[in-house]
Chain A
Amino acid sequence: MALKILVTVKRVEDPESKIRVKPDGSGIVTDGVNYKMNPFDEIAVEEGLRLKEAHGGEVVVVSIGGEKSATEIRAALAMGADRGVLVRHDGPLDPMVVSGLLAKVAELEKPDLVLLGKQSIDDDQNQAGQYLAARLGLPQATFASKQESLESEAEQKKVPGLKLAADGKRLEVVREIDGGVETLDVSLPAVVTCDLRLNKPRFASLPGIMKAKKKELKELQAAALGADLTPRVVIRKLAEPPARKGGLKVADVEELWKKLHEEAKVV
């Protein structure tokens, strides 16, 4: 019943960092910007660890990028993942390139389950999981969530939000969709992308960080995997959105009402 779980992690700009566009619109200013694991991927790693703790198995972390992406793999290993795979690729990435490379890694690793964040907070594309599922001909369950709140007892006990069937061959996934909550049952292997309310990721412990240094981290060269590395989503120009003019304060409800009723005419 043990599960082999492949979890993807991406190195992204810290969401707390201020993102500014270069004057010529060719990219963002990276000076002074911190990097960390994509927050949705942290949720994916956490869910993988919980499934392993509940059912046994192995959590393999994969990232695609330059040598610095090893930092994010080590962070996942420090949380408790078993080993890492870094697909070295210094060129630009888009969801087609990423899913093509992940499909090659999945062919090598043959996981029962691939867990991804639902989107990375740099590109915000929300595509890689769906492309990967299509490429591999696997079922997909996107935006995995759970009905228990993040303050619930189940969450305190680190119960997996994804429910493995007794025979270990199917997985039940709760999804947040428009107008309600949907439950799907996918046969394994499957691709699941994780939304915010699936879990609260753990922090790495000091012993965890020490152990992570000794865990296996294998490097693969993207060019050797036989996937198409040409990005098809090409950024032509970046710009900052027009700033919103705000900042006016009103003294009381009386004045607020007047402004809304007579000036803005929205009520």
Chain B
Amino acid sequence: MSNVLIIAEAFNGQVRRASLHALGAGQQLVQRTGGALHVILLGKGIGEAARSLAAYGATVHAADHDALAAPLAEAHAPVVAELARAVGASFVGAAATAYGKDLTPRAAALLEAAMATEVTAFAGDGAAVLFRRPMWAGNVLADVELSTAVKAFTIRPTEYAPAAAGAAGEVKAAAVAVPALKTRYVSFQEVKSERPELTEARVVVAGGRGTKGDFKPLEALADALSGAVAASRAAVDAGWVPNDWQVGQTGKVVAPDLYVAAGISGAIQHVAGMKGSKVIVAINKDPEAPIFQIADYGLVGDLFKVLPELVAKVKASR
């Protein structure tokens, strides 16, 4: 039986959208393997979030326990591994969020499972699943076979459709046995924003070195389009904007309908994080900037002049 276990993630009492994409990947797998779909949610006070997962044709396992309140891989991994054994899972997957990337390999190790990271598609035939994933900063796509009995993976949420509604699933309490922990959770400082989450935004306005640290024109355009603001590694390293704004192979991977790159030269590592966008606009003073080669629409000009004009256009169209 090739059963599938998806690890979902709750944040502030709600299931993260990325988890619904992981569940969508799980639905694809069970269609191919004929197994049953299971999903586990770990945390404290996650009952309601767990019930919201019951609408996708999966059996939901709620691991609701004080010891799981913090998202610590050391605490969560043994619970995931135990459940994977109990339900006979051959596939264990999650979304490639910070939580998914931290936890899944640790759970995989406990299951002696090989793993594929940031999977973008399932290839191969029937139950013989190959995992398609980017290597070398997205310059290469590899079809990978995992030759262990249990196979683990994380999926890139932008590459999978969210789960389709299915038969109402049962919600069960998962067994929780957490050993004495060697990790203490000290604090979490939430970065609150009125703007949409970067990886879920329909519009992303990103700035690089060319902003010289002034992101106000970018923020104005993002707000006019109800979008998110992002940055290249150069802007983040300079300390101009928060770390979690970084788009690139080593930062976040985004695929919005519209990506506006302002004052970004277009280094390989940045492009790897945004080339899946539907439409890319590049605004740069340097006509030779590599970003223009991949942009659908390039405008050679000063972003401090161009962006306010674009904001005026957006506002006038309302």
Q: Does A108 contact B (CB under 8 A)?
A: no
Q: Does B175 contact A (CB under 8 A)?
A: no
Q: Does A220 contact B (CB under 8 A)?
A: no
Q: How far is the CA of A120 from the CA of B106 in the complex (A)?
A: 17
Closest Cβ of chain A to B261, distance in Å, is 11
- Which of these binds chain B: A82-90, A208-216, A231-239? A231-239
Contact B296 A264 (CB under 8 A): yes
Given contacts A95-B105, A125-B115, A181-B188, contact A240 B239 (CB under 8 A): no
Which of B147, B182, B295, B314 has its CB near the most chain A CB atoms (within 10 A)?
B182
Closest Cβ of chain B to A259, distance in Å, is 5
Given contacts A246-B292, A266-B257, contact A253 B191 (CB under 8 A): no
- Give B182-216 interface residues, CB cut-off 8 Å to A: 182-191, 197, 203
Q: How far is the CA of A5 from the CA of B262 in the complex (A)?
A: 42
Contact A266 B181 (CB under 8 A): no
Chain B residues closer than 8 Å to A135, beta-carbon distance: 109
- Give A47-89 interface residues, CB cut-off 8 Å to B: none
Contact A233 B116 (CB under 8 A): yes
Contact B183 A267 (CB under 8 A): no
Per-residue contact bits, chain B 295-318, to A (CB 8 Å; 1 contact, 0 not): 111111100001001100110010
Chain B residues closer than 8 Å to A140, beta-carbon distance: 73-74, 102, 106, 183
Given contacts A140-B106, A151-B239, A246-B292, contact A257 B117 (CB under 8 A): no
Chain B residues closer than 8 Å to A110, beta-carbon distance: none
Interface magnitude class on chain A = 35 or more
Q: How far is the CA of A257 from the CA of B137 in the complex (A)?
A: 32
Contact A179 B244 (CB under 8 A): yes
Given contacts A124-B249, A142-B101, A260-B258, contact A247 B298 (CB under 8 A): yes
Q: Does B52 contact A (CB under 8 A)?
A: no
Contact A249 B298 (CB under 8 A): yes
Given contacts A130-B109, A142-B73, contact A96 B114 (CB under 8 A): yes
Contact A233 B239 (CB under 8 A): no
Q: Does A1 contact B (CB under 8 A)?
A: no
Closest Cβ of chain A to B245, distance in Å, is 11
Chain B contact residues: over half helix, strand or loop, or mixed?
mixed
Chain A residues closer than 8 Å to B98, beta-carbon distance: 143, 175-178
Closest to B100 in A: A178
Which of B114, B136, B139 has its CB near the most chain A CB atoms (within 10 A)?
B136
Closest Cβ of chain A to B36, distance in Å, is 25
- Which of these binds chain A: B43-51, B60-68, B160-168, B276-284? B276-284
- Give A102-159 interface residues, CB cut-off 8 Å to B: 119, 121-127, 130-131, 133-135, 138-143, 145, 149-152
Contact B186 A183 (CB under 8 A): yes
Closest to B287 in A: A249
Q: How far is the CA of A183 from the CA of B99 in the complex (A)?
A: 14
How many residues of B are in contact with the other chain, CB < 8 A? 88
Contacting B191 at CB < 8 Å: which of A180, A185, A241, A259?
A180
Chain A residues closer than 8 Å to B177, beta-carbon distance: none
Contacting B185 at CB < 8 Å: which of A145, A184, A195, A236?
A184
Contacting B275 at CB < 8 Å: which of A126, A244, A260?
A244
Chain B residues closer than 8 Å to A130, beta-carbon distance: 73, 102-106, 109
Contact A267 B314 (CB under 8 A): yes
Q: Does A93 contact B (CB under 8 A)?
A: no
Contact B141 A134 (CB under 8 A): no
Q: How far is the CA of A124 from the CA of B268 in the complex (A)?
A: 15
Q: How far is the CA of A172 from the CA of B186 in the complex (A)?
A: 9
Contact A260 B281 (CB under 8 A): yes
Per-residue contact bits, chain A 18-51, to B (CB 8 Å; 1 contact, 0 not): 0101000000100000000000000000000000
Q: Does B178 contact A (CB under 8 A)?
A: no
Q: How far is the CA of A149 from the CA of B235 in the complex (A)?
A: 11
Q: How far is the CA of A67 from the CA of B206 in the complex (A)?
A: 43
Closest to A123 in B: B135
Chain B residues closer than 8 Å to A172, beta-carbon distance: 186
Which of B16, B296, B309 has its CB near the most chain A CB atoms (within 10 A)?
B296
Besides the known contacts A135-B109, A266-B258, 12 further A-B residue pairs in the complex with CB atoms under 8 A apart: A141-B183, A150-B238, A150-B239, A179-B11, A179-B190, A180-B189, A182-B187, A186-B182, A232-B114, A236-B130, A246-B294, A248-B296
7 contacts between A and B (CB under 8 A): A15-B268, A124-B135, A134-B110, A177-B98, A239-B142, A249-B299, A266-B258
B interface list, Cβ under 8 A from A: 11, 16, 72-74, 77, 97-99, 101-106, 108-110, 114-118, 130, 133-148, 181-191, 197, 203, 225, 233, 236-239, 243-244, 249-250, 257-258, 268-269, 275, 278-281, 292-301, 306, 309-310, 313-314, 317
Nearest 10 CB-CB pairings of A with B: A149-B239, A134-B109, A130-B105, A232-B114, A177-B98, A139-B182, A183-B186, A127-B105, A185-B184, A253-B309
